[in-house]
Structure formats: C-alpha cells, structure tokens
Amino acid sequence: MKDKLLVCTFSGGRTSAFMGKLLQEMPKYKDYQKVYIFANTGKEKEETLEFLDKCDKEFNLNLVWLEAVVNKEKGVGTTYKVVDFKTASRNGEPFKDMLDKYAMPNNFASNCTRELKLAPINKYVKDLGFKEVVTAMGIRFDERHRKSNFAEEQNVIYPLCDDLKVDAMFIRDWWDRQCFDLQLKDYEGNCDLCFKKSVRKRLTLIK
C-alpha cells in the first residue's frame, strides 16, 4: 500500500485550474503524491477541453482524463476508462449512456455528477492503492456556503477557502496575467445547458 495521495479534481474552469497550479507550490502538501483528474461527460464545450489541455502542458500536471463506463446491469456500478484530449468524447456519449440507466439530471437527483464525475474518479483513485487519500475541491472563499458538512470525515479539503481565501475577482485577475485563458464567457460555464444554470442563462445560450 502506498502512502499519501492528494487528488486535485478539475472541473474545466478557471478556479479549479488555478487550484491545480497552486497545489504544486504549497509546502503544506509537499509530502503528498499528487494526481490531477478531469472527468469528461462529453457535454463540455471544446473551449473547455482546449483549456484543460493547455493547463496540462503549461503547468506539467500529467492530467488524467477519465470517462464513465456505465454498466446497464442493475446493481453493477459505474467504472471508468482513461482517455486523452484527442480521444475524449465530444458528442455527449458518456451522458447518453448514463441516461440509458438513470433519470435526466435535475435539482433533486444530480445523476450526472454522481455517475459521470464522482463514480469514475473514486474508482480510479481506489485502483491507485494509496493508504491515505485527500481530495481538493476548487471552491472559492466567496462560495464557501457550498462546502460539504462532511468534508472532514470524507478527507475533502478546500485550499481556496481555508488556505488562500480567494474570490472570483482574484481568479479573474490572476488569469488576466497569464499567457493563455479559458475562451468562454463566465455565463457559458463548462457543460452546455446544465440544469444548474438559471433559465435566463440557458435561454441566452440557446439564442
């Protein structure tokens, strides 16, 4: 059994990408081996995938690209496959596979997060065989209301809330000073027409 692993989850946005860069440099986590993971749903915009690929190369992250493998058999959980920038799904294939077994994601059942993000990441990390695993989540200080009440028992940390205390303006200013950036407007987000977006934002995107 290996020792300590720090898992940095990438959503594909500016905040989680900044966190990935930050965790490389923080002395607090120098004793941890680190793995940077992005779980592709096939519903992300091409600009998001290009941004992730650029972050991977510029920051030397060795980013792991995962996609969910949804087993249609009842009682058999979702696993994963490893892809890369070139082979990652662009036409919603993992999302469509999920809908063959589970209901359309909504405010009462975020099946996309559970099956397309958490399940493949957790299975992949388990297969790595580390004794201690800590997961870093890219939630900013101005979003601290989103922190889990079970974070401590689940070994989840929030470096951008508890270590650096950054807000949206800080993230925007930091990326403005870099040689590249995510080529999306803030309201566009990563996944197209996500149910978590407001109706106004979704109508704007459709228009």
Confidence of residue 98 (pLDDT cuts 50, 70, 90): confident
Q: Over 50: is that where the pLDDT of 1 sits?
A: no
| pLDDT score recorded for residue 104 | 74
| pLDDT score recorded for residue 57 | 97
For residue range 58-72, what is the model confidence (pLDDT) as tens digits?
A: 999 999 999 999 998
Domain that holds residue 17: 2-206
For residues 168 and 186, give the distance between their C-alpha atoms in angstroms, rounded to a whole number.
10
For residue range 153-199, what is the model confidence (pLDDT) as tens digits?
A: 999 999 999 999 999 999 999 999 999 999 987 655 666 655 455 54
**Torsions phi, psi for 17 (to 5 deg):** -65, -40
Tell me how crowded residue 68 is: count the other CB atoms within 10 A of its CB: 29
Confidence of residue 33 (pLDDT cuts 50, 70, 90): very high
Cβ 159 vs Cβ 23: under 8 Å: yes
Q: Over 50: is that where the pLDDT of 32 sits?
A: yes
| pLDDT score recorded for residue 166 | 94
For residues 176 and 84, give the distance between their C-alpha atoms in angstroms, rounded to a whole number.
27
pTM passes above 0.75 = yes
Name the DSSP class of 33: E
For residue range 101-140, what is the model confidence (pLDDT) as tens digits?
A: 887 766 766 777 888 999 999 999 999 999 899 999 999 9
Find the CATH number of the domain harbouring 140: 3.40.50.620
Total number of domains constituting the chain: 1
Report the percent of the chain where pLDDT is more than 70. Answer: 86
| pLDDT score recorded for residue 186 | 67
**Torsions phi, psi for 135 (to 5 deg):** -110, 125
For residues 185 and 70, give the distance between their C-alpha atoms in angstroms, rounded to a whole number.
32
